[in-house]
Chain A
Amino acid sequence: MQTRQSNFNEIVMQAIFFLSALISVLAVLAICLFLFMRGIPAISEIGFTDFIFNEKWGPVNIPASYGILSMIVGSIYVTAGAIVIGVPIGLMCAIFLSEFCPDNIYKIVKPAVNLLAGIPSIIYGFFGMQVIVPFVRENFGGNGYSILSASIILGIMILPTIISISESSIRAVPESYAEGSYGIGATKEETVFKVMVPAAKSGILTSIILGIGRAIGETMAVVMVAGNAVMPLNKIELLKPIRTLTTNIVTEMSYASGLHESALISTGVVLFVFIIILNASLSLISSKTQRN
């Protein structure tokens, strides 16, 4: 009797565990479904090419125009800027942590990197607004709200992602690689640079892609430093304001309605597609490394 009871419990709980696991799948499906349900009709109403390949964004103009090309380009620029700033520093810091750092300093730097990962984007944005924007204004010109400011802030924000994943992948390189390199007379630095880092390249690439994902999806930090003006493509400059896909949504959603609101949701759909492409390339990398 008791075993029957416990068998029953076992089956019920197992079903509950499985259903809980399915909730993530349901959530992803719901997110896709509702975003696309609202976004796709708007894209077809505006016209795919008029939406994606048109640089004119004037939802309150008559006639209204809903082109987001300038924001797509803007997102790509600030993300590229973040990579240019964040990847070298992050990678070097990862090399420092995994190969050069004495234990007592490791105990300071490692928690610092973790703390950097925990700081909310609003703090980064506010810091950018108060420090980076005036710095850029005074040293490089323009009003400071610019691609450069956004790139600097995003570059800092992706540091912890780049550092921790690159560090663990460099640490995962077998000791024998380094020994072989020392054996043929290479210095420590040559060994790290020419043997360890190349051997860890798939992990480093993963960290960069995750960094791209974080940068392209970041909203609040960018909205506070980028100036958010829609720039015609030929006027986009490093020291001029920029609007990205994410900031387009956040600056206009509060007063949007009708097709305007749907167009903003479609902007989110485009962003979502970017993220899915990044995710797909991530799983491609991991399946490749597994095969090797």
Chain B
Amino acid sequence: MDRTLDNLKQRKVKAFLFKSFVWFCGILTVGILIYILLFILLKGVPKINLKFLFGEYNSETLSVFSSMVTTVQMIVLSLLISVPIGVFCAIYLAEYAKRGNKAVKVIRLAIDTLAGIPSIVYGLFGMIFFVQILGFRASVLSGICTISIMILPVIISSSEEAIKSVPDTYREGSLGLGATRLRTVFRIVLPTAMPGILAGIILAIGRIVGETAALIFTSGTNVLKNPSLNLMASQRTLAIHMYMLASEGLPHSRDMAFATGSILILVVFVVNYATTKLAGRIGRSQ
């Protein structure tokens, strides 16, 4: 009897320890996040000023203006390439492909592979193919081409999921009214799936903004004094700007790296908020 009681007590102690450890790890994860964010924001936000945001780049301002413009340019143009391809691919996979089709298996394998390739390998490929073989040189154009491939899997998988979550009754209703399959896809399925597709696009924006390794040898680390939309110019994005400032090692450039980091974190906040909101909307519409 005593032994069973002891045993029970021991089990309770073990259970308590285990439970505490699980709680600790949950809190630790949140703690790490808050620490990283506060550390960058508290040191970075006070350093942000008008000259840094919108001034001409020189060794004193270390302005982000031209890098910001390039980042936006890169987002817009690479989405213009990837979104149609990605959404069309998702339509094929979700609406047209037959189950067990060999081609579909190969396509899915390719998408999974693309999703797993590290960004430095994309960077090497972009350098070999776009910069050297196609002769785009180190330029914003090479960067855009490289990054368009990199964000494809993100767009495809979120679009496919969104399209699959559209209830079949919608399709049947539309087909029953005499609409063609194509019309059903464009008029009924895509609009219903739009929040999920948008969520994927916003995730892709987050990846473009944060990308460094794939761009360093394609769009390069050069910085122009003033913003330029010249596709053939080599010009850095925000994240590369931060990397260059951080690796210079001077106190002033380090301060400005904190400031650039704060801007990046603000972008990440917006991206995260928007995706959660949009994902919530599909959840509700189901």
CB contacts (< 8 Å) of B123 on chain A: these are 249
Whether B88 is near chain A, meaning CB under 8 Å from some CB there, is: yes
Inter-subunit contact B242/A114 (CB<8 Å): no
CB contacts (< 8 Å) of B221 on chain A: these are 254
Whether B196 is near chain A, meaning CB under 8 Å from some CB there, is: no
Inter-subunit contact B116/A278 (CB<8 Å): yes
Inter-subunit contact B114/A126 (CB<8 Å): no
Q: How far is the CB of B280 from chain A (nearest CB, A)?
A: 11
Inter-subunit contact B125/A217 (CB<8 Å): no
User: Bound complex: CA of A64 vs CA of B243, how far in Å?
Assistant: 30
Q: Do most interface residues of chain A lie in helix, strand or loop, or is the interface mixed? A: helix
User: Bound complex: CA of A105 vs CA of B22, how far in Å?
Assistant: 14
Q: Do most interface residues of chain B lie in helix, strand or loop, or is the interface mixed? A: helix
CB contacts (< 8 Å) of A218 on chain B: these are 118
User: Bound complex: CA of A129 vs CA of B24, how far in Å?
Assistant: 26
B 99-134 binary contact with A (CB < 8 Å = 1; else 0): 000010011011111101111111111011100010
Whether B212 is near chain A, meaning CB under 8 Å from some CB there, is: yes
CB contacts (< 8 Å) of A17 on chain B: these are 88-89, 91-92, 95-96
User: Bound complex: CA of A116 vs CA of B33, how far in Å?
Assistant: 6
Stretch at the interface among B11-19, B57-65, B169-177, B225-233: B11-19
Inter-subunit contact B26/A101 (CB<8 Å): yes
CB contacts (< 8 Å) of B18 on chain A: these are 189, 192-193
How many A residues, CB 8 Å from partner? Answer: 87
Closest residue of B by beta carbon distance from A10: B182
A 18-58 binary contact with B (CB < 8 Å = 1; else 0): 10111111011011001101100000000000000000000
Inter-subunit contact B25/A96 (CB<8 Å): yes
Q: How far is the CB of B173 from chain A (nearest CB, A)?
A: 19
Which of B112, B125, B258 has the largest count of A CB atoms less than 10 A from its CB?
A: B125
Whether A169 is near chain B, meaning CB under 8 Å from some CB there, is: no
CB contacts (< 8 Å) of A28 on chain B: these are 110, 113-114
Q: How far is the CB of A181 from chain B (nearest CB, A)?
A: 13
Whether A120 is near chain B, meaning CB under 8 Å from some CB there, is: yes
Inter-subunit contact A9/B182 (CB<8 Å): yes
Inter-subunit contact B153/A24 (CB<8 Å): yes
> Given A24-B153, A119-B268, is A220 in contact with B22 using a C-beta cutoff of 8 Å?
no
Interfacial residues, chain A to chain B (CB-CB below 8 A): 6, 9-10, 13-14, 16-18, 20-25, 27-28, 30-31, 34-35, 37-38, 88-90, 92-93, 95-97, 99-101, 105, 108-109, 111-116, 118-127, 129-131, 156, 159, 163, 187-190, 192-193, 213, 216-220, 224, 246, 249-250, 253-254, 264-265, 268, 271-272, 275-276, 278-279, 282-283
Question: Which 3 A-B pairs rank lowest in CB-CB distance, beginning with the nearest?
Answer: A217-B118, A120-B210, A92-B25
Interfacial residues, chain B to chain A (CB-CB below 8 A): 11-12, 14-15, 18-19, 21-26, 28-30, 32-34, 36-37, 39-40, 84-86, 88-89, 91-93, 95-97, 103, 106-107, 109-114, 116-125, 127-129, 133, 149, 152-153, 156, 180-183, 206, 209-213, 216-217, 221, 239, 242-243, 246-247, 257-258, 261, 264-265, 268-269, 271-272, 276
